[in-house]
Amino acid sequence: MLQIWFTRLLFTTSLLALLLILTGSYLRLSDAGLACPDFPTCDGRLFPTDDDIQAWSAMIHRYLTVAFSLLVVSLVIFAERMKSGPRYSWQLRLVLLLTLLQGWLGYLSLSMLLHPAVVTLHLLTAMLILSLLWSVYLNAASKGAIYSERLPRINLRPWVIMAFLLVCVQILLGGFTSSNYASLACPDLPTCQQQWLPEIDFTGIYQLLSGEAIDYQSSQLNNQQSISVHLAHRYSAVVTAVFILFLSLLATRKSTAIYRGAGLWLAFILILQIQLGVANILLLLPLPVALGHTAGASLLLLSLVYLHHLTRRSKVSIYTH
Ligand code: HEM
């Protein structure tokens, strides 16, 4: 019984992590990141005035953060007390540690006026928290499961880990594109400002890392630097996409239906993600498309965590919870 409640709590907390990623992305895209410049209150109030939508969205993100942190603490305590808990204990402690780091990064992004490096790290840490929680959830949900089919012992794991790292780099570059306001630096595709090979200039990046106190509510990069940041995300998308397609092909060639399903799902999410990325540019960044692109990045990571989970098991289970 305890195991069932533990699994449900893990699922709920993972969903909340995804919701936090999306509300964080909404704040970034609707320029509401500094709508509440003080912390933890908003202009000295716990609840903003009725008509201030930006302040409300910033505060809702904060309320959800508090709920999320409480859930993570409960999960850590739960795992300590359960018989099979110690199996998950270190992973959940790591989630708690990352959550504390995330709170600090959130605070820093306010005090450093949306510094792109901080905003990007904040996004990546959120993605790592979600992935870790999902991995613990999959392990907990498959405990006590009824085994049906034998899985072949195949060595997909190094490929999955490599794909996970590539997607993390892709997320870093995406977050950096967004937080540097370089999303529309190349409004055409596959060319950029009508050029096939525009000149690349990354000197602006070093300036960004210099730590000077600057207001980052608008771009601090010149046209060429913005193009470079934008193109880094585009080019690395090609490498990531080829690698993931290859991985999904490897998975779908395995004899078990569960691997084939996971491989097809991975390819589907990847293709959707590329379409959303292209639509971001061609439709000039509509909010639902940009949010969909962030959700797609999260789903890509979750699919890879699932594939990794499969490679660690020798049998296919039918989940009982
Ligand atoms: C291969 C998989 C891809 C992943 C995992 C990925 C991931 C991301 C992430 C995490 C962001 C930041 C979103 C945010 O700030 O909330 C982003 C932004 C962006 N991506 Fe991608 N991306 C991928 C492919 C592409 C492709 C193929 C294109 C277009 C050619 C593209 C175009 C963009 C643009 C224009 C932005 C900035 C949008 C914004 O301001 O939110 N992406 N990407």
Which residue has a Cα nearest atom 2 of ligand 1?
Answer: 237
Q: In which band, very low, low, confident or very high, does the pLDDT at 60 lie, cut at 50, 70 and 90?
A: very high
Which residue has a Cα nearest atom 36 of ligand 1?
Answer: 183
Q: Residue 105 has what pLDDT?
A: 97
Q: Residue 82 has what pLDDT?
A: 80
Decide if pLDDT at 148 tops 70.
Answer: no
Q: With a threshold of 0.75, does the pTM exceed it?
A: yes
The CB density around residue 17, as the number of other CB atoms within 10 Å, is 26
- Residue 293 beta carbon below 6 angstroms from any ligand 1 atom: yes
Which residue has a Cα nearest atom 33 of ligand 1?
Answer: 277
- Residue 171 beta carbon below 6 angstroms from any ligand 1 atom: yes
Of the residues 280, 291, 302, which should be mutated to test ligand 1's pocket, given the most ligand atoms within 8 Å of the CB? 280
Per cent of the chain over pLDDT 90 is: 69
- For the stretch 162-220, pLDDT in tens is 999 999 999 999 999 999 999 999 999 999 999 999 998 887 776 676 666 677 788 88
- Residue 278 beta carbon below 6 angstroms from any ligand 1 atom: yes
Decide if pLDDT at 80 tops 80.
Answer: yes
Q: In which band, very low, low, confident or very high, does the pLDDT at 145 lie, cut at 50, 70 and 90?
A: low
- Taking alpha carbons only, the member of 12, 143, 146, 9 closest to residue 83 is 143
Decide if pLDDT at 139 tops 70.
Answer: yes
Which residue has a Cα nearest atom 39 of ligand 1?
Answer: 178
Mean pLDDT calculated for residue range 273-282: 98
- For residue 63 the two structure tokens come to 């309320």
- For residue 146 the two structure tokens come to 């009824």
- For residue 56 the two structure tokens come to 């409300």
Per cent of the chain over pLDDT 70 is: 90
195 phi, psi to nearest 5 deg = -115, 145
Atom of ligand 1 nearest to the CA of 25: 16
- For the stretch 214-237, pLDDT in tens is 777 888 888 999 999 999 999 999
- Residue 241 beta carbon below 6 angstroms from any ligand 1 atom: yes
- Could you tell me the distance, in angstroms and rounded to a whole number, from the CA of residue 80 to the centre of ligand 1? 39
Q: Residue 192 has what pLDDT?
A: 97
Decide if pLDDT at 90 tops 80.
Answer: yes
2 and 9 Cβ atoms separated by less than 8 Å: no
Q: Kindly report which listed range (39-48, 113-122, 258-267) carries the lowest average pLDDT score.
A: 39-48
In one-letter notation, the amino acid at residue 31 is D
Mean pLDDT calculated for residue range 139-145: 79
Q: Residue 84 has what pLDDT?
A: 65
- Residue 234 beta carbon below 6 angstroms from any ligand 1 atom: yes
- For residue 165 the two structure tokens come to 């790292």
**94 CB-contact burial (10 Å; exposed 0-12 / middle 13-18 / buried 19+):** middle
- Could you tell me the distance, in angstroms and rounded to a whole number, from the CA of residue 227 to the centre of ligand 1? 14
Q: Measure Cα distances from 245 to 223, 265, 269, 282, 287 in Å.
A: 33, 11, 11, 24, 28
Q: In which band, very low, low, confident or very high, does the pLDDT at 146 lie, cut at 50, 70 and 90?
A: low
Task: Give 110's Cβ-side CA count (13 Å radius).
Answer: 18
Atom of ligand 1 nearest to the CA of 241: 1
Distance CA 11, CA 247 (A): 26
- Could you tell me the distance, in angstroms and rounded to a whole number, from the CA of residue 172 to the centre of ligand 1? 9
Distance CA 267, CA 118 (A): 31
Give the residue with greater pLDDT, 87 vs 127.
127
16 and 61 Cβ atoms separated by less than 8 Å: no
Distance CA 32, CA 35 (A): 5
- For the stretch 1-21, pLDDT in tens is 788 899 999 999 999 999 999
Averaged confidence pLDDT in the chain: 90
Give me the residues paired with residue 45 across strands. 42
- Taking alpha carbons only, the member of 171, 195, 193, 173 closest to residue 184 is 193
- For the stretch 94-110, pLDDT in tens is 999 999 999 999 999 99
**190 CB-contact burial (10 Å; exposed 0-12 / middle 13-18 / buried 19+):** exposed
Mean pLDDT calculated for residue range 297-314: 91
Atom of ligand 1 nearest to the CA of 291: 16
Q: In which band, very low, low, confident or very high, does the pLDDT at 131 lie, cut at 50, 70 and 90?
A: very high
Q: Measure Cα distances from 28 to 31, 34, 117, 154, 161 in Å.
A: 5, 9, 14, 41, 29
**169 CB-contact burial (10 Å; exposed 0-12 / middle 13-18 / buried 19+):** middle
Distance CA 237, CA 87 (A): 36
